[in-house]
Homo-oligomer: A and B are copies of this chain.
Amino acid sequence: MTKIVIIGGVAGGASAAARARRLSEDAEIIMFERGPFVSFANCGLPYHIGGDIQERSQLLLQTPESFLARFNVDVRVMNEVVAINRHQKTVTVKNLLDGSDYQQEYDFLLLSPGAAPVVPPIPGVDNPLTHSLRNIPDMDKIIQTIKMNNVEHATVVGGGFIGLEMMEAFHQLGIKTTLLELSDQVMTPVDREMAGFAHEEIRNHGVDLRLGTALSSVEYIPQSSIANQDAGESSEHQHLNGHLILTLSDSSQLKTDILIMAIGVRPETTLAEQAGLQIGALGGIYTNEHMQTSDPSIYAVGDAVEEQDFVTGAQTLVPLAGPANRQGRMAADNMLGRNESYQGTQGTAICKIFDLAVASTGKNEKQLKRDNITYEKVYVHTASHASYYPGAETVSFKMLFDPLTGKILGAQAVGKDGVDKRIDVMAVAQRAGMTVEQLQHLELTYAPPYGSAKDVINQAAFVANNMVKGDATAIHFDEIDNLTDDQLLLDVRNPAERENGNHLANDVNISVDQLRQRIDELPKDKEIVIYCQVGLRGNVAYRQLVNNGFKAKNLIGGLRTYLYAKA
């Protein structure tokens, strides 16, 4: 009878337990969870705070009782594993309810401890109004603070997934919100120019977004509250509240009623380190492709582990639910004698930011530059479905590829409709090893309510192939501000589109539809740098000019990419 001990009862741990039981009826499966809940919907926490998910009970997917009934798993909540004794193949467990300790034997141990919020040692940050959000008790505390402290202003530090979701939750509750982000963009999985769409969306909702701004110190101004029993208040209302004075890196100050620290997470490796398991260079638990740690009897999955990057083959940390769940299933397979290999992580991710979806897969340009990987890129802005059918929204799409092999390196998309679909398509294409040549031939669903006969992806592939084949010479948004005297900037949009100063400085305007008649107005000794709104008419003009002997380049993604890069 195989004894399987699992540390951590969410995502990876819960998946592993269920799979293990399906494979073996007689395995003994014990799952330890130091918190009071197992298998809760951690991705749903911000949405319950904001009110989208109304019932707290909806977040509790399984209970110890349901796990026992369905999977015969011995779930021990409020039981914390405090040591792994590898030589004895036991773990030391502390029962947090009665304080007692005991030993538990294992044949195989699975570590699924997750990752913990990083809270830097900022002076004053340890106070009753400052929270991070990782689990149900954290969520309950935030809700309690909102309720009890009459929160009128909230501050979120960190523009990642949780920071953005908490920002939206506060906004939805009618609370004025400031979002502080140290870098020059939110949502680091996408590149700066794609994040511009998110910045605009955030500011359009009245959120005080401060990029390049850090939190320097926190001052807690307490104010004690005495329950007004005449007004029906219970003793619950008798507590400390008050407000915070935040000092920011630009020396400005900000008064706020609640502070959420969401700058990132760090793998939980304490137990693994104490047990002498190998820790990777990035600080996660080392695992091989079977999700096995340096001790063959111990497996590890989820946010705590380092896994292989699908694109580069390097070690990476990707704290996301999808990989955690699949790794858990696979670890169970391998513990019970199967031979499953994890195939690497692309880091496919998506975040809802008000009405916008921001998503990506594979590597972004920042990472490619850092790793010295040769790449080319295209931008396409086109309708999520046939533009003549109601409800179409612009999908802004970026694709990164190897200019020699055409291999897909990464993709990013932003928009109000159809963003998840396009990134899913790219995630599959990348995983399958497809090239931008092959992407041209993709045959995706088309009817006016759902797509276009030439989908976003087909169009991006056409542009990329034009570049690979030399049919298009690209100029990118970040080169436009540095043109020389040997270059002439040509706007090929209609004059009406240029009204209210809506064009680049020092340009010339000839509409694409008049270009043949007016082509002689252009100099042959200069390079014509063509732009239009999104790059499509620019390409038509580009082809006309080069086929007429001009030197030319086309601004890929057009004015739209250029402008949002500054947003």
Residues of A whose CB lies within 8 Å of any CB of B are 11, 18, 21-26, 41, 43-44, 47, 52-53, 58-59, 61, 66, 69-72, 161, 310, 320-326, 329, 342-343, 345-352, 357, 359, 361, 386, 388-390, 420-421, 423-425, 427-429, 431-434, 438, 440-451, 453-455, 458, 462, 471, 512-514, 516, 539-540, 543-544, 547-548
Contacts and interface: CB of A to CB of B under 8 A. Distances in A.
A346 B443 contact: yes
A274 to B, nearest CB: 29
Contacts of A442: 427-428, 431
A445 B442 CA distance: 19
B24 A359 contact: no
Given A390-B52, A443-B322, A453-B324, A43 B547 contact: no
A420 to B, nearest CB: 4
Contacts of A53: 388-390
Number of copies: 2
A455 B351 CA distance: 16
Contact of A443 (B52, B427, B462): B427
A329 B361 CA distance: 29
A71 B471 CA distance: 17
Contact of A357 (B320, B386, B429, B450): B450
Given A389-B52, A425-B424, A432-B432, A43 B325 contact: no
Contacts of A11: 453
B388 A41 contact: yes
B59 A321 contact: no
Contact of A513 (B23, B70, B420, B547): B70
Contacts of A23: 471, 543
Contacts of A25: 543-544, 547-548
Contacts of A438: 343, 431-432
Contacts of A450: 350, 352, 357, 420
A443 B323 contact: yes
Contacts of A44: 386, 388-389, 448
Contacts of A389: 44, 47, 52-53
B444 A343 contact: no
A64 to B, nearest CB: 13
Nearest to A537: B70
A165 to B, nearest CB: 8
B420 A350 contact: no
Contact of A66 (B18, B434, B513): B513
